[in-house]
Structure 1
Amino acid sequence: MLNAYWKYFLYILNHKLNVLIECWKEGLYIQGIMHDFSKFAPAEFFPYATKFYSGKPLTIEDEQRWKYAWLRHQHKNKHHWEYWVINPETNEALPMPKKYVIEMVCDWRSFSRKWGRRVKTSTLNLTDRIVVHPDTKKELELLTSRHQSKD
């Protein structure tokens, strides 16, 4: 298991670096540094490492711990759109402050950095698949179209 913990630790560092680079471009210096800091908390770290890096079949308890860790992560990190959802049944959400919308897009962009690909606007435009306030949707569309014009 120690190997799984080490691999997951390195993954977090790499992800944080990629998000930091994207946030830095947007002037979000502190958010870039603090991004996903909760992943180091034992309540998130161990279930994630077990699920993604242990290489062993997951027990029902492992899967349940990971689901709690994912839910905790969403509710501890304001750059996740799920943090702002009031009622998923009615698609009701509070508007996200702009700095968190930008950080969310930086998070999405960071995955293409990891895999060495350029982000496609279609990859960034998730507004039809996520629950966000109409104002947040407009902000996301502006940010993703701005990203497309930089390419």
Structure 2
Amino acid sequence: MRAYWRYFLYVVDHKLNVCIECWKEGLYLQGIVHDFSKFSPKEFVPYARKFYSTRKSEETELQWKYAWLNHQHKNKHHWEYWVVNPNSNEVLPMPEKYIIEMVCDWRSFSRKWGRLIKDPDHLTNKMMASSGLVLHPKTRQRLEEITNGSKN
């Protein structure tokens, strides 16, 4: 039971940090509904068991992988949501509000771990440099503009 409580507190804290970042960008509704799927049993239980339980197993890991896949496919601020075919790098451009929400999600880590990540845009650059990140060229360009301080 302790694992569920600890995970609940983590999600609430994360949502608060993302909400603050989204509200700075004028994304009020998205700030409120961000990651709401993490409260669904399909995601909540496997996440809590993976990250906060002392008893882990192969089954726990498999259940978490299903939960993570569900999360990516239910939340449009995840770049994975927009990938049509990863083998051919076929990907759709992300709408502006989801690009900004994705950046707010990344920046929320800086808000939580501010001592470790002084510059939120450094985190965004680090995420963009990730070898696994598959983005439409327009999405990548817009992310670069946001990172470099251009809002338009």
Post-superposition shift, 1:90? Answer: 1.8
User: Which deviates the most, 39-48 or 123-132?
Assistant: 123-132
Q: Tell me, yes or no, if structure 1 residue 136 matches structure 2 residue 125.
A: no
**Runs (4+) off by over 4 Å:** none
Match of 1:103 in 2: 101
What is the deviation of 1:119? 3.0
Unaligned runs of 5+ in 2: none
1:9-88 superposed matches below 5 A: 9-56=8-55, 58-88=56-86
**Matched residues in 1 for 2:148 and 2:89: separation?**
24
2-side partners of 1:135 and 1:11: how far apart? 33
Task: Give distance in 1, aligned partners of 2:20 and 2:128.
Answer: 24
The reply on whether 1:93 has 2:91 as its aligned counterpart is yes
Shift of 1:55: 2.0
**Residue 145 of structure 1, CA deviation:** 1.0
Distance of 1:116 and 1:106 partners within structure 2: 14
Query: What are the ranges of 5 or more consecutive residues in structure 1 without an aligned counterpart?
Result: none
Give TM-score scaled by structure 1 length.
Answer: 0.92
Deviation (angstroms), 1:121: 2.9
The DSSP-based 3-state class of the residue aligned with 2:128 is: coil
Q: Secondary structure at the match of 1:146?
A: coil
How many residues are paired up?
145
CA contact (8 A) 2:110 2:120 kept: no
State the one-letter code of the partner of 1:145. N
d(CA) in 2 for partners of 1:90 and 1:60?
Answer: 31
Q: Secondary structure at the match of 1:86?
A: strand
Which residue is equivalent to 1:119?
Answer: 119
The two structures have a TM-score, normalised by structure 2, of 0.91
